[in-house]
Amino acid sequence: MTITGIAAGVPFVALEPAGVDGPAPLVATWHLMDEPRTEVAMAEALPMNDLPAWRVYFGLPMSGRRALPGGDEEFFALAAQDAVLNVFGPITKQAADEFPAAVADLRTQLSISDGPVYVAGGSAGSMVALEVIARGEVSIAAGAVVSPVTQLTPLVAANERRFEITYNWSAESREVAEYYDFVRRADEITVPLLMVVGSDDDIAIREPAALGHKEIAGSELVTIPGMQHEVVADDAKRVDAEFTRWFQQYIQG
C-alpha cells in the first residue's frame, strides 16, 4: 500500500514493508531533478519492494508539491541566474535541515522501529543523502546513491556544456561548491555507502564517483552499462535491484 502524507512540513510517499508484522526500519530517499524528479516518480522507479523496511520518498524543496509559484519557468530562471546559490546550495541545505524533524514526525505516523535509519538519493537527492550522513544528526546505518553528485563543481561544468552557458563563479558560490565536495569530506562519510553510476553518464558524475569510492571507506561502486543520468525504464529496474541488494544485507544483518 502507498501512503501519501506530510512529515514536519515535508511531503512524502511511503511504501509499506514487505513481510513485516510490527515496527520496521526506515529507508529515506530523495529524488533527482532529472527523471524521476518527484517523490511519487522516485517511489515508482525505485520501490525496493523486497525490503523488510518502510521506504519513504521525500519531496525536495522547489519541486513536486513544493514547486515554486511560477513552476518550472521560475525554477529554471533561478537556476539560470545562479545555479549554485539559488538551487543546489539552498535545496540541499533545506532538505538536510528538515530531515531530523521529518524523521521524528514519521515515527509518530508510521510503525517505524527504533534504531538507525537508511538513506538513499539520486543526483541532487544524493547530495542530501550524503550531507545527512556527514552531519550525523540522525543515526544512519547505510546509504546508497545513484548518479551521485559527489563533487558540485564538476556538475556545474557539465551543465555549462549541456545548456551552452557560462557560469560566473563568485567567492560565495565557490565556498558552497567546496562545501559540497564529498571527496574532500570523505572522512565524514562513516557508514557503508553504495554508489551507482551509468556508464554513459557525464564524466562530471563518473569521475568524482570513482574518486569518492577510493576515498570513502566501506564504499562500493557499481556501474550500470548503457545508463545515462536519468533513472528510468530498465535502468531503474537495475538500480532498484542494486539498492535492494545493498540495503538487504544491512537491514537483515
Q: How high is the mean pLDDT in each 10-residue block of the chain (253 residues)?
A: 96 94 96 97 98 98 95 94 97 98 98 97 98 98 98 95 91 98 98 98 97 97 98 98 97 70
SS3 214: helix
Specify the pTM: 0.97
pLDDT score for 65: 93
pLDDT score for 253: 47
pLDDT score for 162: 86
Residue 63 belongs to domain spanning: 2-250
CATH number assigned to the domain comprising residue 7: 3.40.50.1820
DSSP code at position 103: H
Count of structural domains, the chain:
1
114: nearest Cα among 132, 96, 95, 141: 141
**Interior angle at CA 208, CA 84 and CA 172, nearest 5:** 25
DSSP code at position 169: -
pLDDT score for 18: 84
Burial 45-69 (b: 16+ CB within 10 A, else e): bbbbeebebbbbbbbbbbbbeeeee
